[in-house]
Structure 1
Amino acid sequence: MSRSRPLPPVLRVVVAVLRPIFMVTMKRDWSGDEHLPRDGGYVLAPNHLSYIDPFVLGHWMVDHDIPPRFLVKDPLFAVPVIGRLLRAARQIPVYRGTGAAADSLRAATEAVAEGGIIAIYPEGTMTRDPAAWPMSGRDGAVRTALATGAPLVPVAQWGPQAIMWPYRREFRLLPRKTMHVRVGAPIDLSGLDENATVAQVQAATARLMDAITALQAEIRGELPATPRIDVRSLKKPKTRYEES
């Protein structure tokens, strides 16, 4: 378990408001905590299967004395009130498809190097798999871990999709559902550093997604029935938001 880390003031307020609601409306199944590094910064790499799973993962993080900190798509920072809250909570904007895209990983790398814990969704967007299995990953989580020498910890979520399925607006909070978060052993990146080749980084990312999928399979008690979807083959979904 990581040492206790203080929450930014705005997050203390958010937690005070939301945590009692989550405790009443959701059941929790947290497992694999023994794999969390005890000291120093590291990268959490979760799957992304619902608009609400950042809140579920944030709930899990608070329960483990980890201040919730994510890479968040930059348009949300332009939304009045929400943007100010995100900045005050020290979330990191993601500038995908722009010249400032590298700034996101640079900020994440600096935070981890300073001993912070950052959650980076390797898929970069919610799953488009019909059965909500993880897709292939982008390389940001791996590159951040390699640049800092910090552990890369795979995390599988299951349960948020029962409340809100990917890219759908239906919201079904009742009956009360179980939110599963399972942590796996850090990915073996030995022999690699920030100068790793593209092929090496891609291979490490594939190992990461294999680990996340295996963790989710343990939760679900089943294996994927179809090949993994390649995130680079996706067209932009017809929805207001692409990722959380």
Structure 2
Amino acid sequence: MYTASWRDVVRRELFGPRPDRRDAPYRLVVRLALVVFRLLGLRFDVRGSEHVPAAGGAVVCSNHVSYLDFTFLGLAALPRRRLVRFMAKASVFGHWFAGPFMRAMQHIPVDRKAGAAAFDAAVRALKDGQVVGVFPEATISQSFTVKDLKAGAARMAIQAGVPILPAAVWGGHRVATKKRPVDLTRGRAVTVLVGEPIVAEPGETPAALLARTRAAMEALLDEAQRSYPQQPAGPEDLWWLPVHLGGTAPTLEEAAARDRDDAAGARVRARTSRRARLRARLRRRPPSAAA
């Protein structure tokens, strides 16, 4: 098990002897993340870092169980001196605090109403030799099992001519996940597994490549769950285990229903917000303009 140390935080060659100056903001964020990991006493089991290429592009495809998954996946690439450019919701890039950091770290914004731009940006990054991180489930899985995957990751790997690295993260949902309060209890274990590269066969379709990727992700997640070193403290702590392991997390069907409810609620909130903004603008208009 690995626990971040203060020595790691300040280690000069953490990113190699001559890191790219353009990545200075990203390196700062990584060091700050290590500080947080140290303060929380997180215990990491990271396996498969050797599968991350030392150079050249690759698509990391991981399951998604917590708000912190991208920080944990970054740890798997760090021994290879690689920084992962994650695809994330465009709204994050518009946030007053997170937005400037996301842009400085060269992450890729995804506007679901105009996904082609994000796809093209990801393919360009891959062809430029970047490692691009994708959560092909699109949202956090509330069942803590692998949901249906979007085909974009397989399509971009084929178009860019790079391998897919299947991955699994487990344990971070005990700290911060959907519909649960943040829990900063020290000493939580987090498992990160990266599998062997999956290379598209000549003429292989995105659907076939996606199926192979899903199978690998499911196998890695099963291994991460079954080898996880900590157990629930009691019946009330079974929420973070999936049903097939004796937990009380929603089933895949129940989680899908929750996702639909969440999406419907988000649409209602968006419409309400637009109406509120319109009313506010009308109230601010001078009487002459209203006439």
Fold conserved (TM > 0.5)?
A: yes
Give the one of 133, 142, 145 matched to 2:157. 145
Quick one: distance in 2 between partners of 1:84 and 1:127?
Answer: 27
Quick one: distance in 1 between partners of 2:125 and 2:169?
Answer: 24
Q: Which AA in structure 1 matches 2:195?
A: G
Determine if the alignment matches structure 1 residue 54 to structure 2 residue 53: no
Identity %: 28
Q: Which AA in structure 1 matches 2:61?
A: A
Larger Rg: 2
Quick one: distance in 1 between partners of 2:261 and 2:157?
Answer: 28
**Per the alignment, in what secondary structure is the counterpart of residue 58 of structure 1?**
helix
Quick one: distance in 1 between partners of 2:59 and 2:225?
Answer: 24
Contact 1:152-1:187 within 8 A present in 2 as well:
yes
Other-structure match for 1:177: 188
Contact 2:50-2:80 within 8 A present in 1 as well:
no
Other-structure match for 2:216: 211
Determine if the alignment matches structure 1 residue 27 to structure 2 residue 55: no
Contact 2:58-2:126 within 8 A present in 1 as well:
yes
Contact 1:62-1:68 within 8 A present in 2 as well:
no
Structure 2 alignment gaps of length 5 or more: 1-14, 228-241, 246-250, 267-291
Quick one: distance in 2 between partners of 1:224 and 1:190?
Answer: 35
Q: Which AA in structure 2 matches 1:117?
A: V
Choose 114-123 or 5-14, whichever is displaced more. Answer: 5-14
Q: Which AA in structure 2 matches 1:93?
A: P
CA deviation after TM superposition for structure 1 residue 171, in Å: 1.4
Structure 1 residues 32 and 61, CA gap change in structure 2 (3 angstroms): closer
Structure 1 residues 55 and 76, CA gap change in structure 2 (3 angstroms): same
Q: TM-score by structure 1 length?
A: 0.82
What does 1:79-158 correspond to in 2, within 5 Å? 79-96=95-112, 98=113, 100-129=114-143, 132-158=144-170
Determine if the alignment matches structure 1 residue 12 to structure 2 residue 37: no
Q: Which has the higher contact order (CA 8 A, sep 6+)?
A: 1
The size of the alignment, in residue pairs, is 227
Residues 13-52 of structure 1 deviation map (CA, whole Å, 9 limit, x = unaligned): 2223221221342111111223222331111111110112
Quick one: distance in 1 between partners of 2:261 and 2:104?
Answer: 30
Quick one: distance in 2 between partners of 1:224 and 1:212?
Answer: 18
CA RMSD of the aligned region, Å?
2.8
Quick one: distance in 2 between partners of 1:187 and 1:146?
Answer: 11
Give the one of 75, 83, 88 matched to 1:72. 88
Contact 2:52-2:165 within 8 A present in 1 as well:
yes
CA deviation after TM superposition for structure 1 residue 182, in Å: 0.6
Quick one: distance in 1 between partners of 2:256 and 2:111?
Answer: 17
Q: TM-score by structure 2 length?
A: 0.70
Quick one: distance in 2 between partners of 1:14 and 1:175?
Answer: 21
What does 1:189-228 correspond to in 2, within 5 Å? 189-192=200-203, 200-221=205-226, 225=244
